[in-house]
Amino acid sequence: MTTSSAPGKVYLFGEHAVVYGEPAVPCAIGRRARVTVEARDDARLRVDSKDLTLDGFTVTYGEAAGTEVNVPQSLVEAATGYVDEAVAQARDAADAPDAGFNVTIESEIPLGAGLGSSAAVVVAGIDAATRELGVELPPEELADRAYQVERDVQDGQASRADTFCSAMGGAVRVEGDDCRRIEAPELPFVVGYDGGAGDTGKLVAGVREIREQYGFAADTVEAIGDIVRHGERILAKGDLDELGRLMNFNHGLLSALGVSSRSLDTMVWAARDAGARGAKLTGAGGGGCIVALDESDGARTALDYTPGCEQAFRAELDTEGVRVE
């Protein structure tokens, strides 16, 4: 039996634009998905999946199928698709096409909320399964195989950002296939969660449609890339005030592309009004989470009392990526 864990992430800058080759800077946070894998004597797959939202739900399928969910069925189907493809990658890496597994997933990361839950589960799942079969993959290969999983499940619309960040930890810069860790100061993240979840595939497709329809929307995507390029220089200097201002710009552009929501905007403004240096949605949008930059208790306290915010929590930068538990 082998257990591996991998961190979730927030986007400091660059979501959606990264799909079109622009750079992005995601940062790993101290909320993890843990995947336990036990080899079976047959080729079957049994998965017990719990706590993929902060409220929690369980999905068991394979030998004994059944579901009890409190999120949209499309997200459940996506979650099981990620697990299936992760197992396929592990079998391929270990040259064990008939390997069977009992898999248990425990996650502190809400599903579909913009915190990289699928990437963390996939990275940890591939690592645990390959180790259970006697193969240890370097984190770079884990990141690449996990990206192949996300690309397949998301119909080719994934980027390498989430999976590379989850595998490597810390702050990373992703631009197309160019992925690397970058230096970052301590980043005092506060996350607000509205209890919902966006449909990544639909949101990405929506941005693609508006980008193809309007030239200024394509310019908006490029402007997000410009924010990232400026932001990584500011990150190296550790200027949190300027980072916050750039986060605010980034949120405005994402809102213009139609991927924010009333609940996300409400949480963003509550955090800013409480003194956060900056705040923005994180991930695909449509619901889920915002991230604020605030070392005080102001933003978290404000979010606790904001209508539509189900939970607020501090999530410091996690410099460690995938690991064996």
CB 25 within 8 A of CB 235: yes
Q: Give the closest residue to 296 by CA, choosing from 320, 274, 281, 315.
A: 274
Which residues does 293 contact at the CB level (< 8 Å), separation at least 6? 187, 188, 189, 190, 240, 243, 244, 247, 276, 277, 278, 279
Q: Give the closest residue to 89 by CA, choosing from 97, 80, 77.
A: 97
CB 5 within 8 A of CB 119: no
Classify strands 58-61 and 66-68 as parallel, antiparallel or unpaired: antiparallel
- Helices H / strands E in the chain, number of each: 9, 13
**162: annotated active-site residue:** yes
Q: How far apart are CA 31 and CA 52, in angstroms?
A: 12
Catalytic choice (162, 194, 294, 318): 162
Which sequence positions are flagged as catalytic?
Answer: 162
